[in-house]
Structure 1
Amino acid sequence: MRGRAVPELRLYNTNGGVTEVMPRLAGAEADVQRLVEANMEALLGVRFLASEYSTGPIHAGRIDSLGIDENGAPVVVEYKRGTDPGVIHQGLFYLSWLLDHRAEFAHLVRDRLGATAAAQVLWNGPRLICVAGDFTRYDIHAIREHRRSIDLVRYRFFGRDLIGLEAVATATGRTPKGGREQPTGPAQPMRAGREGIAELAAAADEVLLGLGDGITRVQRKKYCAYQRLRNFATICPPQRTKVLVYLSLDPAEVDLVPDFTRNVKGIGHHGTGDLEVQLRTERDLERAQRLFRASYAAA
């Protein structure tokens, strides 16, 4: 990948005519790092913990950024201004160090976010996010050979005030479950009662995993999350008569339907997302798929 690798998407200013806004790299790596760290939750779905974190005198390194994602997984973020074939190996080196220093990370989380967050760190799903000007095809191939969750994110600045982020590739660190043909619904009629609701939850799981490649399924005690770069959906354990799915969509931009969709922004609930979708029947699952796809596309 050389030359003008971005953009399939081209940006234009329509004020007083149509003028293309040309993409550019940062003047320095630190410019990207400062911007992402200051807005990490909005840009990556990760809560920022520390910058230039020292790995001590033996390893003699500094982790660009440390964070924790919305499911409690530790996150190492590494930045490069342009294309750098060493960014993945460097990030994996720091991720390995982090797994050997769990108590130190938990102490950092406790200091920044409190004891509850520190007690809920998800150590079976640590992540590496590499933010760079570009990646080579060898980078994309390499992450698929690792047993770690790795996201390659390409950036571009546009003009003075705009930045674009593109998820180039994702390795889930697990046996792939995405990329299958998306079902239109269960093959057999569902049973009534609790067994039917359990089948409905399983069918929703199948639909969400089938939305595309690179989907990570993260199981927590009180919910199951479906993640690209960030969560796009969470499913709570089935209730007696319904399955609750929470999507990362703005409820103000959705036509809410009583007993089907609900605005839960500011209302406590398990999982993540401000739009609640209530599934009671196969028909509910069918009409929810449009919302599932919209949330997936926005993640």
Structure 2
Amino acid sequence: MGVLSLKLFYTKGGVAEVTPSLAEAEADVQSLVEGAMEAMLGVRFLASEYSTGPAHGGRIDSLGLDENGAPVIVEYKRATDPGVINQGLFYMAWLVDHRTEFQALVRERLGTTAASQVLWSTPRLICIAGDFTRYDLHAVREHSRSIDLVRYRLYGEHHIALETVAASVLGRTKAPTRIRRVGAAGTLPAQRAPQAVAYLASAVDALLLGLGDDVKKVRRQQYDAYQRLRNFACVTPRQDKLLVYLKATPAAVDLVPGFTRDVTGVGHHGTGDLEVRLRSEEDVERAVELFRLSYAAA
């Protein structure tokens, strides 16, 4: 694996390249990420160096809970370590066998509601390292667990870059060959609304999953989330439309009444402050650029 291709330049008083570097110690990377885990990974921090007990004999670098309520293990390596995935899966097995203990931790740190909504169907492993081997990348793509391999680089004293280099892809469906017209004049006929909404949902599913090889789909009772490291879209069906909540910044978008809405501070299922309402194939087509914008921001 090569180093990050990003080049960063300092331009005040001349132009000088800021060269990437690795941390002096694994703990330095861990400290940086744990200090801003929600902003960097979309994960609420729960615990550091969590002991798995004398029988298991290990310490999980970081424990957290993601935006959809899935348990998250984060393991760090300063440079390249061919054992990082196996180590993480070792801890994952312990976590799945100790659900009550994890939920007690969530209850203590985040409250009763969060503890009651832990999503055990998709626990996640995020490995952050200086680099990974080609065998690591192949293993992740073949594995049935949710695993993200994230490469880091430090730029000077105040910048860290994170790049997802491989992710296990769960929840993918076959994309339809085209979006079928579901109604005239941008509406859904009342007698066919449920079937039409279902078809729109299938088309949107294919579009969102097709944005990148690192996209994963997570099903919750109230919505379907599409995530990279963080959610970038949450889809909720209604009787006559689809509601899609995106991570795109509403202020950066020209809002169109009846199509897009700023829901910052407004209660809704899923995550994201930009609501997109889809009632027809035309709506889906004009939402594609918003999907891409949100994907890029995640």
TM range (shorter): over 0.9
Conservation of the 8 A alpha-carbon contact between 2:180 and 2:281: no
Identity between Structure 1 and Structure 2 (%): 65
CA distance, structure 1, for counterparts of residue 133 and residue 196 of structure 2: 47
1:154 aligns with 2:147: no
Change (3 A) 1:201 1:177: closer
1:103 aligns with 2:100: yes
CA distance, structure 1, for counterparts of residue 115 and residue 281 of structure 2: 39
CA distance, structure 1, for counterparts of residue 85 and residue 142 of structure 2: 12
Change (3 A) 1:258 1:120: same
Conservation of the 8 A alpha-carbon contact between 1:177 and 1:210: no
Conservation of the 8 A alpha-carbon contact between 2:182 and 2:196: no
Equivalence for 2:268: 269
Cα offset for 1:296?
Answer: 1.2
1:186 aligns with 2:196: no
1:249 aligns with 2:248: yes
SS at match of 1:214: coil
Change (3 A) 1:133 1:101: same
Cα offset for 1:196?
Answer: 2.1
Cα offset for 1:242?
Answer: 1.9
TM-score by length of 2: 0.93
CA distance, structure 1, for counterparts of residue 26 and residue 109 of structure 2: 25
TM-score by length of 1: 0.93
Cα offset for 1:197?
Answer: 2.5
Give deviations 1:55-94, integer Å, cap 9, x for gaps: 0001111000000100011000000000011111100000
Equivalence for 1:78: 75
Equivalence for 1:52: 49
Letter aligned with residue 74 of structure 1: P
Consecutive unaligned residues in structure 1, runs of 5 or more: none
Letter aligned with residue 259 of structure 1: G
Letter aligned with residue 179 of structure 2: P
Conservation of the 8 A alpha-carbon contact between 2:171 and 2:216: no
1:121 aligns with 2:118: yes
Equivalence for 1:222: 222
Moved over 6 A (4+): none
CA distance, structure 2, for counterparts of residue 7 and residue 85 of structure 1: 19
Among 135, 156, 159, the alignment partner of 2:132 is: 135
Return 254-263 or 87-96, whichever deviates more.
254-263
CA distance, structure 2, for counterparts of residue 108 and residue 139 of structure 1: 31
Give deviations 1:206-240, integer Å, cap 9, x for gaps: 21122221321111010110111111100012x23
Equivalence for 1:69: 66
Equivalence for 1:259: 258
Conservation of the 8 A alpha-carbon contact between 2:172 and 2:217: no
Cα offset for 1:189?
Answer: 4.5
Letter aligned with residue 159 of structure 2: L
Cα offset for 1:188?
Answer: 5.1
CA distance, structure 1, for counterparts of residue 182 and residue 171 of structure 2: 29
SS at match of 1:199: helix
Letter aligned with residue 298 of structure 1: A
Q: How many aligned residue pairs are there?
A: 291
Letter aligned with residue 79 of structure 1: Y
1:198 aligns with 2:198: yes
Consecutive unaligned residues in structure 2, runs of 5 or more: none
Letter aligned with residue 101 of structure 1: H
Equivalence for 1:170: 167
1:279 aligns with 2:286: no
CA distance, structure 1, for counterparts of residue 294 and residue 3 of structure 2: 24
CA distance, structure 1, for counterparts of residue 132 and residue 216 of structure 2: 21
